[in-house]
Structure 1
Amino acid sequence: MQRGKGMKFVGDSRIPAERKPNIPKDYSEYPGKTEAFWPNFLLKEWMIGAVFLIGFLCLTIAHPAPLERVADPTDSGYIPLPDWYFLFLYQLLKYEYAAGDFTVIGAVVIPGIAFGALLLAPWLDRGPERRPMKRPIGSGLMLLAVVSIIFLTWESVDDHDWEAAAQQGEIVDVDYDVDESAEGYDIYLSQDSCIGCHGDDMLGTSAGPPVFESDYDVDEIIEIIHEGIGSMPGDQFDGSEEELETLAEFIANDGQEP
């Protein structure tokens, strides 16, 4: 083409003198090598996405997400468990060198070094080779990361007490209707040691059973509070004898004002 032929000058740009219809290029001469992004490629993507979406919806209907009981912030014995993709970090915090006084090392330092190494891998190994065997630094870092994540995830699953976790999150139908306006309930709320095991609703936590689970009379309840029973220690009540008797009568009457 000669200089300027078939072109018009618009400022510093050149545009075709004749407008052409916006027709996608014909890729039939290159079968299997390339195709138009719109609509060919997007149509395939939408079809695949629709199939996966329908499959996911069917899975959620067939296997609903497991629900636990209402969260209780006063339950100090609750054992949390993160989602599966964070289990390796959760397991890391169980080791002595990454927990307690060294929590910052397990929560920030070690993960920061690991993810930082993966981010720097493309710059540490800048060779033109694409085969993993020819890129030892990048391949080695990635292999080390995958093995570490798999190992820590496996250890976390193996160490976790799944039976206790199922019990602490189990939804239990409770027939007790606690009278929160009763004097005995106010006395109970003033006892942090009681709330820590039996919950602020008196219906129990993973650390202790519901207060009304056993059918004790007033004298037996006072004796248990003084001397303890099973794993429950004694002499934990912080109040007067009159308040203790009021609380015992409230418990013996299944959460109702005597």
Structure 2
Amino acid sequence: MNQILSLWHRMVLSCLLATAAAGAAAAPLADPTVAGTTSLVLEYHVKPVNRLALRQFMQGEGLARLDKWKRDGLLSNYKVLFNRWVDNQNWDMMTVLNFPTADKMASWREIEAALPAGLPQQALALVDRIDTNPADLYLEGGASKGSGVYVVIPYDYLVSTDKYLAYLRGYLVPQLDGWLKEDVLNRYQVLLGRYVVGRHWSALMFYEYNGDTGLGLRERTQAKVRADLVRNNPDWVAWSKDKGQYRVNRQYIIADELKSAR
């Protein structure tokens, strides 16, 4: 009898842990109403003739400098993405800086004073325009496998932050978790912008795909997961009917994460 009870307790504990782990993926990671900003998104626009030079700079000196800032404790993490295609409607390079604390984020102004947008003069000379967006990481799921293949999607959300987060958890996250289970997606992150009036996005989605194979299966997997949700998740169906009132999406960007050339 004791053995049966012990087995039952272990089963209950396993179910509770699995439930907690599943919920953690969709839990908010920051609250912009009470916490200091800890992320900065920088978008760099260059003429096509300067794309190669900027990429080569970042793969050498640029990534080395970011690595040093991380070792020194200024950054907790970072990633540098390069638009896969020449695209006049969007950025060529994006750098996402994550800071361990809001105080570290505030100290970025000292970097800006010497290296605007984190770039020395020779790299700045290659750039036509830079957009800087303070943001907070709100939702994430999955785990990076280092594939370096990303889809980045900017949105403007049209409702309160709380309502938008409810929409994300009710409509978006069930789909993304389905993509994770299908192994086409490795990781997702959702950032919400600060001081968004006049900026060109208020929410930013990062989807790291399981290589180009996973990216190529995006549409087929999306249709499969949505069909499953229609059959099994009435709450998702309700959210899907009203999604247009919550957000406006911008152009999708296919991007590759830059790695050191050394």
**Structure (1 or 2) with the greater strand fraction:** 2
Q: Which protein is bigger by CA-based radius of gyration?
A: 1
Same fold (TM over 0.5): no
Q: The TM-score by the shorter chain falls in which range?
A: under 0.3
> What TM-score do the two structures reach when normalised by structure 2?
0.23
